[in-house]
Structure 1
Amino acid sequence: MKIGIPKEIKNNESRVGMTPAGVFELTKKNHTVFIQTTAGEGSGFFDKDYQEVGAIILATIEEVYSKSEMIVKVKEPIALEYPLIKENQIVFTYFHFASSEPLTKAMIKSKSVCIAYETVEDEEGTLPLLTPMSEVAGRMAVQQGAKYLEKPIKGRGILLGGVPGVAPGKVLILGAGVVGVQAAKMAAGLGAHVTIMDINMKRLRYVNDVLPNHVTTAFSSEYSIRQLIKTHDLIIGGVLVKGGKAPKLITRDMLKEMRPGTVLVDVAVDQGGCFETTKATTHEDPTYIINDVVHYCVANMPGAVPYTSTIALTNVTLAYILKLANLGWEKACESDLSLSKGLNIVKGEIMYKELEGIFG
């Protein structure tokens, strides 16, 4: 199969769809891999690294799309790429269709085969291709939140871990999934006081067992959220609805209950966000302030640490890419139920039920 890896063109997105190690596994199986020149440089991989493992370097994104039967990316195509996608072409990437009507309509119109990393689901019900980026984003949420609590950036002026004689900051985490647990680990490691909330008692019991004693668990309800936001300095939203829009757990009116300089980090922004006041931002302009509350809602957080993120992503996507390349998408999805759940839009038809009717 002819596989194309274009350079990511989303704002400040430095990841690349595959490492040289991943390309090597494809070329030794006699697949042809096209990669756009400098596509890997942001992640620390150079054209010569890809050429040494058999990739063909192409000068433009247009050439990559036109020559390839399958496109392997990191982020969803943006408007400039819509007309480049061909009928029957496989596009394997993070799509997050629920957060973008224009993208959904464009992919329907393209009649391509859209397989979304974020809805590939294994037998245990986990999302193996979303997990590594959720791990990165969960940890980064605390790293970024701690920075934006600083006074020059309009935060409360809190050092998250405190110092002797001064109490540590308080972190509230909504959702005890992969993002939430990783965020709790990081915040606890800094010495912050951490509360993690969920409606799944099984997850809360797991958190209680594996995390330190200064991480407390709470059952999530609107009432309990309203109480806790009054006293917490950093609030992280990490709620996931598979393939669908995230629920709005913090409404606009709740901002008035928070102390000035409180920081909100919405890791669910790719799925529409779990704060009513969420709007997607970029690494170039990551924050905005509403009612004296700092919002950090960058839609590609792991793109800020591309070396780590690209390797972590290729580790989990490669087996599926090989299967698609070796068998073609139809046989690959017939033989692998997990991969078949990644089918979101196929030749103009919505295949993933959570997307049906989401935009009317």
Structure 2
Amino acid sequence: MTLSLSARVQRVTLSANAAARQRTRELKAAGVDIIDLTIGEPDFDTPEHIKQAAYAAIARGETKYPPIPGVPALRAAVQRKLQDENQLAYQPENIMVANGAKQVIFNAFAATLNHGDEVIIPAPYWPTFPDAVSFNGGTPRIIPCHLEQAYKLQPEQLAAAITPDTRWLVLNNPGNPSGAIYSPQELDALAAVLRQHPQVWIMLDELYEHILFDGRQHRGLLNIAADLQERTLLVGGVSKTYAMTGWRIGYGAGPAALIKAMVVVQSQVSSGASSVSQAAALAALEGGLDFLAPQQAAYQQRRDKLVALLADVPGVEVLPPQGAFFVFCRCTGLLGRTKPDGTVLENEADVLGYLLESGVSGVGGSAYGLSPYFRLSIAMDEDSVVEAGKRIVAACARLTQV
């Protein structure tokens, strides 16, 4: 019997991050010495008080179906967090909890997009953004933002991209994979364009808001342009800050009508997020951020060492990330060079394959909308990050220019 797949599922692909990591696991299982820098999750453990809160919730019998928008205590904690940390005012009806930030994004596009609706997505982007748009019948409008513009959308690019069919702008700040952070002045310039187009909604992904370098403090678009809050969905979660990727808790904050429609979508897709995970997330939000400074320092030291190693590699260009835990590299200068076996590196895939042969696994930039680039994660112990950098340096030194 032939299985007939829907057009919707054929519009998307398996996550490139997941595919790269799976390939790395297979090679390591076969005994190949590879340092895996594909990983997009903290290498730190979930703080103990959060795990204890989950145990206690189980012991209390909090294992039944939870409310679809999220348990009231957690929504109230998100409300307090947004007020205290972000200086943003929301009511409980403006907040929903989902099975990770990815589901928040999917819910929003499922609730609002019709065939032909456009969503502006600056590249490099997190791959979920365009795929979630395509799956829900929309059209991703990709705007390339290369290294020369620090991987950040420019106001003139935004103005040129908006059409009568534009429904959303996606803004990821700090960015994955770039680590780029918009300055208040840059956000103000984008806000000025958005005010001219009231039909355009804004999706703010700020999951990496606490993973910042060089003493930076997070300031989002709504801190600069409060008037845009009435058409903005703020996407957050506990996965990156609290090392809780596997707990699958994200949240969205936005206008009540949008949140209500997103809850309807979620009611038919997954129902409410795990009650035990919600208890853990509540403890996370109520437990403070004292644990965070050493982790930030560790990420920054890894960044500094990897960037320093790559800075002197001919053919590789690196802009030091300002946040998140990735280093995004342009490898245009490696194309056309010859490997020791006489094979020429003709494209990004060849470069990634050569690095894999040299014992380092990364993810190609085409997965994030820009090529030829590659992403390296620094969510790995420092010794491994440094060794990976040394392997890349040595591998590039073995290349010859035709």
After TM superposition, the score normalised by the length of structure 2 is: 0.32
After TM superposition, the score normalised by the length of structure 1 is: 0.35
Higher RCO (CA 8 Å, separation ≥ 6 residues) = 2
Greater share of helix? 2
